[in-house]
Structure 1
């Protein structure tokens, strides 16, 4: 009887404990479900705020979503990216470092968090930290993106040998041809060597630049600088003429130096003939200026200026024609007024415009300081390009 009584007491107690456990599990599930629903609602509110460009409200919504469901990785990424876009790099770094501190984070998500953290460091200007993280990502699914970012870092820090190594690795990965950029990197190295008067090393670097991009103009321009610095004006002139042969459209960029070297080597007539040929084949105001600087006859200068104006009709050509007009008491006042009007009209039109981003420069540049592109400036000023529809 005692045994049976014990069973009679134990069975209800067991069922009662089971029922209580099931109720606790149900409450926990409801609690977790409520938190997930809250996180989802906050997440979608954040997306709506983003679409309506209300970033402050979007950040508040995403913070609420992360608080409600800390395990949601995508919410962390969304929040970190928002912080970075707003320039709050320290907060973005904390979000992504918090993700990386989780031991249960899958490998793919860990790499994703690393690339996001590297972007935070890069945007914040902490290039050494960004470089360390990007370097750790080589050999992963983000290798190409990491190498491209490392290339930007080495350009900014002017570590040209490292930039060459990265560019060559990108080429081997099938990232297209990087010969043009590599040629410019070797030219930058040659410039540094020239400043140190290490002319032999500079010539070797320029040979490497030419091998990387056989059509590059800049190595020949730098060879001319070195030759002139060493007192060999004839060799410098030969280098510039070689450059103009490779890329005739760049004759305008070289024109002033070519005219000066023709003058220094006492080859005025040869210089005039060469410049006339270049002006006919690739018209540009710089070639006209170089030709006028060598032409000794005032009447011929006036005629050449007028012919260029009639053929091309640019404001720059009009300015040169006015400059070459013969002064006289009858037209001096008119000539002065025309000069002032042309100067005002040309104030913002005598610049070179980057074809990639539109950034304007007063003098020709091989490297755009805005978009960091190489060879993105057409070798003609924007005022003349507008006439050709280029």
Structure 2
């Protein structure tokens, strides 16, 4: 098996699973209970929160709210701010994750005005366009750190310098373990992360919010998570999330160095083995584990099916919209026509991916493409 869909999900690493196991059956108490078992669970959550704050440099200036996913965290950021302010304008981009775009669309029915920033042919916004879009009524700017489909990185620090009095929410689900998450240095007010992209468990996410940020809850009930997210916390997943994030940050430099070399190696292989392949997104300002490219004359879904039959697992874009038939909104925003968008696939490598893996994958891909082009 060669797994090249790390942007969608990663396996839980052993160190993380070992950290989680005691909280399934030994320290299983409800964190809201006042007895010892409950207090032990509560202490585990608090320790996880502090560990995460150290990674993102948020100690002493922000709060961590644990959720069930990156999608829920994004909803809490956007809806939570929208419900806590009288401002009625939000800025985002045309290539955000569906969790951002659909939440913004939902807010239109409540009188919110949404500005969707264009991107250039490489997938980056124009900072002057952003600056012009900000109004006195702008409550929030929501922009990803790196795109899940094409891996293109936005200049968050420069975006933060232009936000004026608006709050800045950054979806960094793809960035953890690959980019700097220092919220103070980057100027981030709200940050979304999830564990499933960093070799942690699925079903857990978080929202960091600066202490000055006012939020209203999206899920109502108990007073868990500072009264901002009702429901009994998933203690094993939270513990695993913190461990995964700490490990990802500790290994970030070596992981990035390895993946950069692997990305360059694979691009050269593609150019050598398959004619008429074009990279989607920025050639350098992209995540080191991401390769999204067009293959002229083939249908991406057919390519992926044949790859899967060879036990090589890749994708055509975001797993959150993989069951939809229309071309990727991200690739369309870059200026691709429907045919080019439908001929694009994404290979997303992981920390354990090797040159041998990539050589075999590209060899198999080349044979599939050659066969399909003859049909």
- Normalising by the smaller structure, the TM-score range is under 0.3
TM-score, with structure 2 as normaliser: 0.19
- With a CA cutoff of 8 Å and minimum separation of 6, indicate the structure with the bigger relative contact order: 2
Structure with higher Rg: it is 1
Bigger share in strand = 2
**TM value normalised by structure 1:** 0.18
Greater percentage in helix: 1
